[in-house]
Amino acid sequence: MSESRAALRYAKAILDMAKEKKALDAVEKDMRSIVSTISDSKELQDVLASPVVSGASKNNALIEIFKGSHAITEGSISMLVDNKRIGMLNEVALKYIILNEQLKGKDVAYVTTVVPLNASMEKKVLIQVANITGNEVTIENIIDESIIGGFILRVGDLQYDSSIANKLSNIKREFSNSL
C-alpha cells in the first residue's frame, strides 16, 4: 500500500473519532499546528525519518512539542509511533485537514510555487478551483524552489503539475526512452 493511501486511511480514522467526540475543530487546529511545525523544522523532519531514533523517543518528543493538544491528537501520534508510521505524520495531518474541510463543504487548494502568490494570482486560482470543484476554496501557498518555476496545484486527490522541474523530468524520460 502506498504511503499516501495509508495516510488517508489514518486521517479518515482520526476524523471519524473526532466526529464521534465532537472535536473536529480542535483536532483540525492541532493538525494545522503539526503541519506548520514539521514544515518549518528540518531537524524535526530528520528525527521523524530516522530509523536510529527509537519510537519511544519520537513519541516523547512529539508529545512534548505538541503539549496541550487534544487527546485524540496525542493518541494519533502514539498510534503512528506504535505502528512504525510516524514518518507520515505530516501527510496524515494534511489529509485530515483536507477531509475536514470537505466535510464542511470547503476545499483546500495547495499551490506550490517558487515565489509567494500575489493577491491577483491568488484570486484567479480561487475562481478556477471553485469552478472545478463546486465548493468554497481556501488557498495554502507552499514555497518550494526545487520546482524551478511554474506551479503545482493540489485539491483533494487531484493534482496538476505545471512545474519546470516536472517538464524537464518528462523530457529526460522521453529522451532516455528513445535511445
User: What are the tens digits of pLDDT across the range 54-72?
Assistant: 988 998 999 899 999 999 9
CATH classification at residue 71? 1.10.520.20
95 and 110 in a single domain? The answer is no
Average pLDDT of the residues in 24-47: 90
Q: Cβ distance 35 to 89 under 8 Å?
A: no
Residues 87 and 110 in one domain: no
Element housing 39 (H / E) = helix 24-40
Same domain as 76, residue 110:
no
Same domain, 83 and 111: no
Is there a single domain that holds both residue 50 and residue 77? yes
Pick the last residue of a domain from 75, 100, 125.
100
Q: Do residues 27 and 14 touch, judged by C-beta distance below 8 A?
A: yes
Same domain, residue pair 55 and 113: no
Residue 156 has pLDDT above 80, yes or no: no
Residue 2 clears pLDDT 70, i.e. is over it: no
Domain carrying residue 28: 3-100
3-state secondary structure of 160: strand
Last residue of a domain, one of 81, 100, 119: 100
The verdict on 89 and 121 lying in the same domain is: no
* Residues 151 and 124 occupy one common structural domain: yes
What pTM value is reported for the model? 0.67
Task: Looking at the structure, tell me whether residues 77 and 113 fall in a common domain.
Answer: no
Q: Are 58 and 48 in contact (CB under 8 A)?
A: yes
Is residue 14 domain-shared with residue 83, that is, in the same domain?
yes
**For the chain, how many structural domains are there in total?**
2
Q: What is the DSSP string of 114-146?
A: SSPPPHHHHHHHHHHHHHHH-SEEEEEEEE-GG
Provide mean pLDDT across the span 93-101: 89
Tell me which of 46, 78, 100 is where a domain ends.
100
Q: Give yes or no: residues 72 and 154 share one domain.
A: no
- Residue 4's H or E segment, with its range, is helix 3-20
Query: Same domain, yes or no, for 89 and 124?
Result: no
Locate 134 and state its grid cell: 463546486
